[in-house]
Structure 1
Amino acid sequence: MDNHMRAGFWRRLGAAILDGLIIGIPLAIISSILFGKADSAFSNIVSFLYSLLIPIIWNGYTIGKKICSIQIKRLDGMPIGIGTMLLRQLVGGLIYAVTFGIGAVVSAFMVGLREDKRAIHDFIAGTVVVHDGSE
């Protein structure tokens, strides 16, 4: 795994923003049409399923990660599976919620300052985000 260059804070942030725009705006429009409000349980569930399932289907990529040429990899080299992504998204998200966002801020600093560029959810799931070499 160490033969890949780790993705840093700005690249990961850019991918997250792109995912938010590419998925969030259409979901807000659809949710507004269907339910009369942009933020609904429907849009939250679809967003969660997108971040959970797309990296499994698309070999560690989301649309934003693909555009930014970064991908999620397991440290042991095995393919990303549902268990890995549940740990990353669900358990990681619960930790961020329980700490009222402080965990997310700590994770951002970890990605920006640590040599291994891993966030809390990466440690929980045994993952790392790397440059995919397509640049």
Structure 2
Amino acid sequence: MVGIETSQHVKLSYEPAGVGERILAFFLDGFFIGVYYLVVIWIWGYVNDIGINPESAIQENMWVLYIVLVIPMMLYHLISEVISNGYSLGKKIVGIRVVKVDGTRATLSGYLVRWMFRLVEISMTSGVVAFVTVIMNGKGQRIGDILGKTCVIKERKNVKLDNTLFAEVADAYQQVFPQVAELTDKDIRIIKEVLDSRSHYDYDNWFLMLQKTRKKIEERLGVQDHDLRGDEFLKTVIKDYNAIHGK
């Protein structure tokens, strides 16, 4: 897991992408690049074949081929990740993404650094350096990621209502803690992350994190006297928040 600590001093985690997933995404991207190459070459050949003087046209217009073919292939990973928020076509299909080490969107400098190191880690060494680094690092990072302060993580799939800030609240539901109106979407998101992280930790560590979160929220709301367990209290806070905001 890639661990981070939020402003509420709650430690959250992201699951780094596995080597197999990264390799699969790499080959998928290679396939798409190959298709692009074949299509451009076919169009180039067709256009020159129908010309009046194909040989001279080819020589005079080689710069066009270079711009249309070579540059996009060289910049494919950089451009696609910058435009698509950490995705390339291959990564999108596999379900992995480039992010900053704190789980937020990577910066342009981060994308640029990891792209520049592709030349050494992947292109010049057939991916051996990147493979070894990711295995040894254990955080979804190759050298370019380490220097660019990025990592590659798995995306959550099959998003349901429970994976969002929203919670189903019955029409007749009575609020327990009206003070939750003081909380923000960010606070509720942190609470849900803590509740959902049960499967990522052994029970003792998760329980300590749960109690720490409960204490922080109780302090924020100014409530202490209630008979709810830690997880029940936090789930009630989420329901109250949704009831107040009509979600």
Q: Which amino acid letter does the alignment assign opposite residue 85 of structure 1?
A: Y
Verify the 8 A CA contact 2:86 2:98 in the aligned structure 1.
yes
The answer to whether structure 1 residue 131 and structure 2 residue 154 are counterparts is yes
Q: Which amino acid letter does the alignment assign opposite residue 129 of structure 1?
A: V
Encode CA deviations 1:86-123: one digit per residue, 9 max, x unaligned: 11112x034448x9428x41221122343223111111
Match for residue 71 of structure 2 among 18, 23, 45: 45
Name 1:79's counterpart in structure 2. Answer: 105
Residues 130 and 105 of structure 1: CA distance in aligned 2, closer, same or farther (over 3 Å): same
Higher Rg? 2
Verify the 8 A CA contact 1:87 1:124 in the aligned structure 2.
yes
Verify the 8 A CA contact 2:110 2:145 in the aligned structure 1.
no
Verify the 8 A CA contact 2:121 2:143 in the aligned structure 1.
no
Aligned residues: 130
Match for residue 11 of structure 1 among 16, 21, 41: 21
Give, in whole Å, the separation in 1 of the partners of 2:114 and 2:102. Answer: 15
Q: Which amino acid letter does the alignment assign opposite residue 86 of structure 2?
A: G
Name 1:122's counterpart in structure 2. Answer: 145
The gaps in structure 2 that reach 5 residues or longer are 4-12, 46-57, 59-64, 159-247
Give, in whole Å, the separation in 2 of the partners of 1:76 and 1:106. Answer: 24
Residues 100 and 63 of structure 1: CA distance in aligned 2, closer, same or farther (over 3 Å): closer
Query: For structure 1, which segment, 65-74 or 17-26, has the greater mean C-alpha deviation from structure 2 after superposition?
Result: 17-26
Computed over aligned residues only, the root mean square deviation of the Cα atoms, in angstroms, reads 2.7
Name 1:106's counterpart in structure 2. Answer: 129
Verify the 8 A CA contact 1:55 1:80 in the aligned structure 2.
no
Kindly, what percent of the aligned residue pairs are identical?
27
Verify the 8 A CA contact 1:110 1:117 in the aligned structure 2.
no
Calculate the TM-score normalised by the size of structure 1.
0.79
The alpha-carbon deviation at position 9 of structure 1 amounts to 0.9
Give, in whole Å, the separation in 2 of the partners of 1:44 and 1:96. Answer: 20
Give, in whole Å, the separation in 1 of the partners of 2:90 and 2:40. Answer: 20
Verify the 8 A CA contact 1:17 1:64 in the aligned structure 2.
yes
Verify the 8 A CA contact 1:111 1:118 in the aligned structure 2.
yes
The alpha-carbon deviation at position 75 of structure 1 amounts to 1.3
Give, in whole Å, the separation in 1 of the partners of 2:23 and 2:108. Answer: 23
The answer to whether structure 1 residue 21 and structure 2 residue 31 are counterparts is yes
